[in-house]
Amino acid sequence: MKRLILFFALLCSACQSESSPTAPPKPPRPTYFPTVVGFTTQSPASRTPKATPSPTRTPTPAPPTSTFTPYPTPASYEPYTIDFLRSRTYGAGNIEVIETMQEADLFTRYLIRYPSDELDIYGFANVPKGEGPFPVIVAIHGFVDPAVYETLDYTTSALDVITQTGYIVFHPDLRGYPPSDSGDNLFRVGMAVDVLHLLALIKSESGPPELFAAAASENLGLWGHSMGGNIALRVLTVSSDVKAAVLFASMGGDERKNAELFSRDSLDPIFQAELAASPAVLKGISPKYYYRYITASVQLQHGEVDQTIPVAWAEETCRALTAAGVQVECIYHPTEDHTFRSRVADQVFGAMSGFYELYLSP
């Protein structure tokens, strides 16, 4: 039970820095959309979910992107379509270990770097100690202000617990998050490409033995939160290599809705480019129209009083996945917002660990 509470208590370290003890303190992480985060140990009395949004909204910084001019023709959007992403290849190059970040009792953490098209993407990899074989999970974080982002971000402690239960975990920083390079990211497609490259490199074990000597690389899973869930949904429509995906408080697969949600609080021109796309163009880009391609089993977990990503979005995703023939489990937590408290640790972690064990055990 202590380990379960740790899992949830530390997933919400969005308001704290994960830097080394000698590093200068970072400013607190803001709580704008999509909020970075997962779980908190605050009591219900100190943090009661609101039934309605606050009338005062903090402006929403945009996800990291390159400067973008709206495309004038449908053909210009082709590289962002699901069909185009399915037609291209991924996985050129190798995963490099830059340094050993931590030697824990049960696992080793490495700083990694790998190529994604012409960009260098950094991140970390947790490798359990032991002979294995260990399935591999790629974890996709939600939005964090790049100005305060660190490779050991708010997901780190939760992913450490997952590692300790017998999984190799890769956590890419994604483009636009230092020290990774920045690049085109319209509709978050660039970030999905970063994940697709990483999955291909893992499957082919294109990296040093310290990463893959004990890996069951054919047993691949995804873990995503908020914006990371939207990225995961796109990845699942493109790659058949993933066997199981767990999505927490996930954005949906309708890119019109996603762009509207971002653009409510951000003047970044990238969202105007997204909103300028015609319904026909968006139909080729939005994952929701391609769920029939998903071969992985999916588990959705969502709070019913989520004021960031409405639970109705999760319900819509659940219905659409089911209609497409996807093996999906949808779990709703009546008292939880966009973040989950330690009081639901047993239910949330138990459901997730049982799901991964069912579909990823070697």
Question: In the chain, where are the structural domains located?
Answer: 2-41+66-360
Residue 311, pLDDT > 90, answer: yes
Q: Which of 3-12, 50-59, 318-327 has the highest mean pLDDT?
A: 318-327
Most confident of 69-73, 127-131, 270-274: 127-131
What confidence tier does 333 reach under pLDDT thresholds 50, 70, 90? very high
Say if residues 250 and 232 touch (Cβ distance below 8 Å): yes
What was the pLDDT predicted at 3?
A: 45
Task: Please give the order of strands across the beta sheet that includes 134-140.
Answer: 96-103, 107-116, 119-128, 168-172, 134-140, 215-225, 242-248, 297-303, 328-333
CATH code, 2-41+66-360: 3.40.50.1820
The SS3 call for residue 265 is coil
Q: Find the largest Cα–Cα distance for the chain.
A: 55
Q: H or E stretch including 225?
A: strand 215-225
The pTM of this model reads 0.83
pLDDT for residue 337: 94
- pLDDT tens-digit map of 198-233: 999 999 999 999 999 999 999 999 999 999 999 999
**Mean per-residue pLDDT, 89-117:** 98
Residue 223 near residue 287 (C-beta atoms within 8 A): no
The whole-number pLDDT of residue 227 equals 96
Instruction: Indicate if the pLDDT at residue 100 is higher than 70.
Output: yes
- pLDDT tens across 48-77, in order? 333 333 333 334 445 555 444 444 456 689
d(CA 250, CA 7) in angstroms, rounded, equals 19
Average pLDDT over residues 115-133: 97
- Decide if pLDDT at 173 tops 90: yes
Q: State the Cα angle at 278 between 272 and 284, rounded to 5°.
A: 105
Minimum mean pLDDT among 267-271, 278-282, 295-299: which range? 267-271
Strand 215-225 relative to strand 297-303: parallel, antiparallel, unpaired? unpaired
Helices first, then strands: H and E counts in the chain? 11, 11
Lowest mean pLDDT among 56-70, 159-173, 176-190: 56-70
Helix axes 2-11, 345-360, angle to 10 degrees: 100
Q: According to the model, what pLDDT value does residue 64 have? A: 57
pLDDT at 347 over 60: yes
